[in-house]
């Protein structure tokens, strides 16, 4: 029997979170067309702020990558997050005649980006890969689930064009390819650690007492960021604000 991939171990550990998130009312109401535009605008503005840090995290991780293949792929993904995904946001902003220049990051945006960037900046490469994985994988997963629900609803639901554009991007084959490429890099970490444990080829291998220690720390970050993904949609659905003190 083949050994379980590292990424699958992480995914299996978050099944209760993922199964709850895929039914989040923010997402399901996008598909059935009942989500208010106010909540969606709030989300898109906060997501634009998040993507700036996410792209920066990918770029910083590229500089820490132990081999040129990972370096190149992470740099490409950073460019894609900054250009392709934010281009979708910019098209929405143009339609709504707004921008995100003076938008204040809300509590869960700060919580998520702070945690993510701290891990990327201060922890070994392996943990940096793990902390950024949920943004890719959870979005692909919910995108596919939302596309399925949209097909089931057919013409019975009416949505604003921005909802369909969002679903189309994250359910697309192009995005799926990016996600699978990223997952493959995560899986290679365990293979590399196993084969290079007695060398200095991979700096992160020197940061842990054992391979299990590395895997457990990676899984902790993956689980945490799956929770933070859910909380990001909670924030938008409730139109969360900072307390007035």
- CB burial readout 234-244, b (16+ within 10 A) else e: bbbbeebeeee
* Cβ neighbourhood burial of 169 (10 Å; 0-12, 13-18, 19+): middle
Spell out the residues 6+ positions from residue 20 whose beta carbon is closer than 8 angstroms to its own: 230
Predicted local confidence at residue 190, as pLDDT: 72
Residue 123, classed as helix, strand or coil, is coil
236: pLDDT strictly greater than 80: yes
- Which tens digits make up the pLDDT trace of 36-64? 999 999 999 999 999 999 999 999 999 99
Spell out the residues 6+ positions from residue 133 whose beta carbon is closer than 8 angstroms to its own: 7, 10, 182, 183, 186, 222, 225
Check if the beta carbon of residue 208 is closer than 8 Å to that of residue 214: yes
Length of the chain: 245
Predicted local confidence at residue 84, as pLDDT: 76
Residue bearing tokens 């910083």: 60
Structure tokens belonging to residue 237: 């659905």
**CA distances for 227 relative to 14, 108, 166, angstroms:** 9, 11, 21
Which of the four pLDDT bands, split at 50, 70 and 90, describes residue 189?
A: confident
- Which tens digits make up the pLDDT trace of 145-187? 999 999 999 999 999 999 999 999 999 999 999 999 999 999 9
Among residues 211, 178, 205, which one has the least CA distance to residue 66? 205
**CA distances for 225 relative to 106, 119, 156, angstroms:** 17, 11, 34
């Amino acid at each position: 029997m083949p050994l379980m991939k590292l990424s699958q171990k992480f995914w299996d550990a978050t099944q209760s979170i993922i199964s709850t998130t895929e039914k989040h009312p923010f997402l399901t109401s996008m598909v059935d067309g009942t989500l208010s535009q106010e909540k969606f605008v709030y989300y898109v503005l906060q997501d634009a702020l998040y993507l700036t840090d996410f792209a920066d995290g990918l770029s910083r991780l590229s500089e820490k990558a132990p081999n040129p293949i990972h370096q190149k792929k992470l740099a490409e993904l950073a460019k894609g997050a900054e250009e392709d995904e934010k281009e979708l946001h910019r098209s929405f902003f143009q339609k709504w005649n707004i921008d995100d220049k003076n938008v204040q990051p809300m509590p869960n945006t700060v919580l998520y980006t702070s945690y993510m960037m701290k891990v990327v900046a201060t922890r070994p490469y392996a943990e940096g890969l793990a902390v950024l994985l949920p943004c890719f994988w959870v979005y692909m997963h919910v995108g596919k689930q939302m596309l399925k629900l949209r097909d089931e609803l057919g013409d019975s639901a009416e949505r604003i064009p921005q909802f369909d554009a969002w679903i189309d991007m994250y359910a697309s084959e192009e995005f799926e390819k990016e996600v699978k490429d990223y997952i493959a890099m995560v899986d290679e970490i365990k293979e590399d650690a196993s084969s290079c444990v007695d060398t200095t080829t991979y700096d992160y291998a020197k940061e842990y007492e054992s391979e299990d220690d590395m895997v457990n720390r990676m899984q902790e970050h993956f689980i945490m960021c799956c929770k933070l993904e859910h909380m990001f949609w909670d924030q938008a659905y409730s139109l969360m604000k900072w307390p007035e003190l």
